[in-house]
């Protein structure tokens, strides 16, 4: 009639305590957060490098095309400093004008010619600003010299985050061989 108390003298040691589970969970969360931040940082810098490569490639292509047109032109029609467009008379007597032109949606560097349609030198992915031509007489080389400068941007230029966009200024001096002012 007496109830006997059952004593548990044997304790199960195969289970984890609540404290151990909480500590392991907290450490796992900390590791996940730090690895996520590292991953996001890597992705942001990767997109920035991608922007830089695209901008440099496109800028070099534009400078090469403009340099080709200027070196192989016959005459530059009115050239001075701080011009936003430049008109060249080609060897075939047609005129080509280099300028920033809106294609209906975007401002792009364009080469318009009386012989052919407008050719856009910059892509729709980039934003073009500050196209400038500066023409000088080069007394040392007995020729003309044109400095071409422009800015190309890629990405969201309205954002304050430096990883959302990339802008680079391109500038090249071109010594002309066939032209006169």
In a domain, 115, yes or no: yes
Which residues have a Cβ under 8 Å from the Cβ of 134 and sit 6 or more positions away? 81, 82, 83, 146, 147, 149
Give the count of alpha carbons within 13 A of 77, CB side only.
Answer: 12
SS3 149: strand
On whether residue 61 sits in a domain, the answer given is yes
Whether residue 127 is contained in a domain is answered as yes
CA distance 95 to 34: 60
Closest-CA residue to 178 (of 79, 70, 104): 70
Name which residue leads in pLDDT, 6 or 171.
171
Task: Please give the average per-residue pLDDT across 131-146, as a whole number.
Answer: 76
User: Is residue 10 in some structural domain?
Assistant: no
Look at residue 4 and tell me if it is in a domain: no
The answer to whether residue 146 sits within a structural domain is yes
- Over residues 52-76, the pLDDT tens digits come to 888 999 999 999 999 998 888 888 8
pTM: 0.70
| 6 lies in some domain | no
**How many domains does the structure of the chain reveal?**
1
Contact 131, 146 (CB under 8 A): no
The whole domain housing 150 covers 18-175
């Amino acid at each position: 009639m007496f109830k006997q108390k059952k004593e548990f003298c044997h304790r199960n040691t195969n289970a984890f305590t609540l404290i151990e589970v909480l500590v392991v969970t907290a450490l796992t969360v900390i590791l996940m957060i730090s690895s996520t931040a590292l991953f996001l940082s890597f992705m942001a810098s990767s997109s920035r490098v991608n922007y830089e490569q695209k901008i440099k490639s496109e800028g070099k292509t534009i400078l090469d095309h403009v340099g080709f047109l200027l070196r192989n032109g016959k005459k530059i029609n009115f050239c001075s400093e701080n011009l936003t467009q430049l008109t060249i008379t080609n060897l075939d007597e047609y005129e080509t004008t280099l300028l920033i032109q809106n294609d209906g949606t975007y401002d792009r560097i364009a080469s318009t010619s009386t012989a052919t349609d407008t050719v856009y030198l910059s892509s729709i992915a980039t934003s073009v600003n500050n196209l400038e031509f500066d023409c000088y007489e080069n007394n040392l080389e007995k020729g003309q010299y044109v400095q071409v400068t422009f800015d190309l941007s890629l990405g969201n230029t309205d954002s304050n985050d430096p990883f959302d966009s990339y802008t680079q200024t391109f500038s090249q001096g071109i010594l002309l061989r066939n032209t006169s002012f």
